[in-house]
Each structure stands twice: as C-alpha cells, then as structure tokens.
A and B are shown apart, each in its own frame.
Chain A
Amino acid sequence: MSLPSVQRGGRRAVLALILPVACIALWQWLGSYGFLVEGVIPTPFKVAEAWKVWAFGAGGFTLNPYSGTWWSNLVFSTQRVGQGYLLAILVGVPMGVLIGWSRIAAQLVDPSIQWLRPIPITAWLPFSIALFGIKDFGAIFLITLGAFYPIVVNTTQGARDVDKNLVRAALMMGAGSGQLLRRVILPAALPSVFTGLRIGLGIAWTAVIVAEMVAVKSGLGYVLWDAYYVGRMDVVIADMVSIGLMGYLSDRLVVFVEGRVLTWRRLQSH
C-alpha cells in the first residue's frame, strides 16, 4: 500500500469515528450529571462494566446468570445463524438458478414463493413453536425461512439476466443442461447471489434474536429479553452491542468471500 492510500484510510477511519465517539461522550456526560433515569438508561461506563463481568466474570455455579456466560451465548446464537443460513443457501441458490433458468420451474414454484413471502418471520413464531417445541430447530427454521427469500429472489433475478450469447456459446461448445446451469448460469448469477446473501444474513440475525426471545432458552436473544425482565438494562445494551458486532463481522466475512470469488467482477468495474 502506498503512503497516500494509508493516509486516506487513516482519515476515513477518523471521520467514521467522530459521530459514535461524540454520541457516547454525550451519553456518558448526560448520565454523569444525572439527566438520565439510571434504571432505564445506564451510562456507557456501567454498560462496559456489566459487559466485562458478563464476558470475563466467574461462570459456573454463581447466582448471577450474567457472569462469564457471554461467550457461550454468543456461540449459541452464531451457531444457529450459521446452520440456518447454510440451509437457506443450500436450498435457495439451486432453487433460484432453476427458477431463473426454466420457465416451467418458475411457473411451478415462483407463485408459491411470492404468496408466502409477505408473511413476516415473526408471524411464523407460534407455528414454529407448535411444530418444533422450545428447541434449537425452531430457531433454525425461522432463520432459514427468513434468509431463504432474499437469497432465492436475487439468485432468480441473476439467473434470468444471464447474457444470451454466453448461453449460446456454451451450447455451441457442447454443454448439456446440467453443465450449463453449473458452469454458466450459476457463475454468471453470482453477483446477484451475493446481494441476496448479504440481505439474507441480516435477516438471519433478526430471526435468531426473535426466535431466542420466545422459542429457545439460550443465546443472545434469550439473554436480551431475560435481562430486560430483571431490570438489567446494562446487560441489555451490552447484548445489543454484541449482536451488532456479530452482524457486522459476519457481513464482512461474506464481503470477503465475495471479493475472493468475484475477482473478475472487481476487475471489470475498474
């Protein structure tokens, strides 16, 4: 990296940090001078303290559920998102490629997807609990369902928009339908697929929190609701920050993979 680009990057980081730092400072100042109702909005300092205990405090048989349990809850939620999201990809991408490519597949499946899509995942909660009980799979079901729609819709769009001459070129060179889908339609649709993947991931995190608040007894969503009930707003805010952090990091991961997979695309836009 050349020096000017390092400087540019540094300046960008400083600019990006101004707003959050100012907000936190104001928040801390308001709290310190008693402008905030302490039980409702704890100061950033208190939140950091609570988070420290939650993350690094003694775990095991203490009476405090918010001591040393941060990591395990984080892992619970992340695992559920990972599993549900993966399932959504495994179903959504091949289905989208098929719907986008085959008119019969589109006429067969697309209307049903469009009819089911307006039902918010929150509306599926009672149904999911009735079907799967207070178990892991209830949460995974909701995550999969939520992430599935944007993935399948964007993949379909991408598969539909494939350059006609690329398809003709592949057929002319002797590709069969399977090869055409795998070697041409899918790679050509990948930019759209990744758009769907990023939207789907955001919905997956929404879904896991909602599911854990109601349908499971562990994870960041469960802690969020539980801490609220016992009036631990410091833990609630620390939990919110954790969710945001995980959502951000997982999105960066998808963007990183996208960059690796779509090198050709990146070069094209220059």
Chain B
Amino acid sequence: MTTAIELAAVDKVYPGNNPVTALWKIDLSIADGEFAALLGPSGCGKSTLLNMVAGFESVSGGALSVYGGPVSQPGPDRAVVFQEAALFPWLSVWENVVFGPKVQGLAPEQYEARARETLKLVGLENFHKHLPVQLSGGMKQRVGIARVLVMEPKLLLMDEPFGALDAQTRLTMQQLLLDVWQQLRKTVIFVTHDIDEAILLADVIYIMSARPGRIQSRIPVDLPRPRNLDTLTDQHFNDFKKRIMQEMRHDAH
C-alpha cells in the first residue's frame, strides 16, 4: 500500500515571549485511500495538524510529506472542507462549485459536466442559482464538499465539517459522507471531537491529547463496510466506543 501522508517527529511551536508548543513529536502514517479520524479535545492541536498538511501553516520541526513530496503551500491536490463551509457569499452555489476549476484555468467543457454530477451527488441539483445565505447549514456544507470533490483531489482534509450542525442534520451529513466515500475512496483526514462520528466514519482513529498536542494512540476501526447510520446502534459499535472512551479517560489522569 502506498503512503499518502507521512509525519515524522513533527513539531509545531508558536514563537513569542511565551512560546506555545501546539504539537510535539507527531508520528503519523496514513495509507492511500484510508479514512483517518483525528479525535481529541479542543486545544489538542488536531486542527493545527490538518492546517500543516493543507499548507496553511508551516512545520516547526520534523518532516511532513504528502505522496512523497514536501508541503510548501496550499493546493488543489489537498482539498479542505472547513467547519463553517467558508463559501464565497457573493457567488451562487454553481459559481462556488466551479471556482476551483475556473481559477486553475480549465475550460468550461472540462468541468461543467462534472460539476453538475457532483452537485447531484450531494443532492443540490435544484439549487444551482441559490446564494449561500439562502441555504441551511447542512446545505452549505454540501456545497463545501461538492466544490472540493469537483477538483478530484487526492486528499480530503475535513476540519470538524459537521461540528456546527444540529444533531439531525449531522446524521444526514454523516450518511452522505459515507455514501460519497464508498463511491470515491479518497484518502481522508477527518478532524472531530465526536467519538461516535469518528467510529462511524473512519478506518483508523488517532486519539490526541492536549498540552502539548500529541498522538496518544492509534486505533484501527474493524467495523465492516459499507456502514450506515444503523451502525451507530450496533453491538460492535458500542464495544468499540467503550474501548475508546477508556483510552481517552486514561489520558485525562
């Protein structure tokens, strides 16, 4: 199996009068096509880790590589889905989704069919002309997912994408992501503090702890795929959840 993302002893230190060590000696290896969840309390640096892979923030020490190459800046091969969707409020749903291909200089015939398909995949085929402000939180995040899928990235970086949604919508979006992933099999890093969400979605969970942020344990999720929301009430699921909760409590002491 090829390695998609490799972190070797990566540190992140914010300099200043009181330097803050956000991440300390992170070793991480995510295989191609793997769905990895970073699970941890706020302040454990999981978003910082994601931002470094995305190229938004630099690495202070150690080595970070994506498909064997170094990361120097953000780029369409490492697509990011933000927590608040971060859509351009002045652009319609359609314009938001074709933004990537457009700025990359592709001709309309190279992306329009794919953009239509992608919008259909996330269930927004009837909302092309809507502005983000006219959409609900869940629909905004569908656009956020569609606009990165349309770029056919190697890597999907998701930073608590459903964290701001209500419980009902969150479940719908989790199901949607499971379906999409089942079809496309992208490599994903999914940041969350929701244990259920991590178990439901991921192949492997990295449990992180805070001050300084580090990886406490790596737990493969051996629940069978394809999964759906019924998985959440499965006996295996509960056993698994118990194990992870013990692991996290263990850290608190």
**A binding-site residues for B, Cβ under 8 Å:** 163, 165-166, 168-176, 179, 183-184, 187-188, 190, 262-265, 267-268
Instruction: Check if A173 sits within 8 Å of B100, measured CB to CB.
Output: yes
Find chain B residues with CB under 8 A from A165 CB: 82, 84, 86
Find chain A residues with CB under 8 A from B84 CB: 165
In B60-99, the 8 Å CB interface with A consists of 73-76, 78-80, 82, 84, 86-90, 99
Q: How far is the CA of A266 from the CA of B73 in the complex (A)?
A: 35
Q: How far is the CA of A174 from the CA of B84 in the complex (A)?
A: 20
**B binding-site residues for A, Cβ under 8 Å:** 54-56, 73-76, 78-80, 82, 84, 86-90, 99-100, 103-104, 131-134, 147-148, 151
Find chain A residues with CB under 8 A from B55 CB: 171-172
Instruction: Check if A172 sits within 8 Å of B89, measured CB to CB.
Output: no
Q: How far is the CA of A166 from the CA of B78 in the complex (A)?
A: 16
Inter-chain pairs besides A264-B131, A265-B89, 12 sampled, C-beta below 8 Å: A166-B88, A168-B74, A168-B86, A169-B86, A169-B87, A172-B54, A172-B80, A172-B148, A174-B151, A187-B88, A263-B131, A267-B133
How close is B239's CB to chain A, nearest CB, in angstroms?
A: 38
Q: How far is the CA of A106 from the CA of B46 in the complex (A)?
A: 34
Q: How far is the CA of A176 from the CA of B90 in the complex (A)?
A: 19
Find chain B residues with CB under 8 A from A170 CB: 99, 103
Q: How far is the CA of A14 from the CA of B132 in the complex (A)?
A: 39
Instruction: Check if B76 sits within 8 Å of A264, measured CB to CB.
Output: no
Report 8 cross-chain contacts, Cβ distance below 8 Å, ordered by A residue: A168-B86, A169-B82, A171-B75, A172-B148, A173-B151, A174-B75, A190-B90, A264-B89
Q: How far is the CA of A42 from the CA of B79 in the complex (A)?
A: 72
Instruction: Check if A183 sits within 8 Å of B80, measured CB to CB.
Output: no
Q: How far is the CA of A101 from the CA of B215 in the complex (A)?
A: 36
Closest to B100 in A: A173
Find chain A residues with CB under 8 A from B90 CB: 187-188, 190, 262, 264-265
Instruction: Check if A184 sits within 8 Å of B131, measured CB to CB.
Output: no
- A174 and B131 in contact, given A183-B103, A187-B88, A264-B89 (Cβ under 8 angstroms): no
Q: How far is the CA of A171 from the CA of B74 in the complex (A)?
A: 6
- A268 and B133 in contact, given A172-B74, A172-B75, A172-B80 (Cβ under 8 angstroms): yes
- A268 and B89 in contact, given A165-B84, A170-B103 (Cβ under 8 angstroms): yes
Question: What 10 pairs between A and B have smallest CB-CB spacing?
Answer: A173-B100, A165-B86, A171-B74, A174-B76, A175-B103, A174-B104, A172-B74, A169-B86, A264-B90, A268-B133
How close is B8's CB to chain A, nearest CB, in angstroms?
A: 24
How close is A177's CB to chain B, nearest CB, in angstroms?
A: 11
Find chain A residues with CB under 8 A from B80 CB: 168-169, 172
How close is A187's CB to chain B, nearest CB, in angstroms?
A: 5
Closest to B106 in A: A174
How close is A192's CB to chain B, nearest CB, in angstroms?
A: 14
Find chain B residues with CB under 8 A from A173 CB: 76, 79, 99-100, 103-104, 147-148, 151
Find chain B residues with CB under 8 A from A175 CB: 103
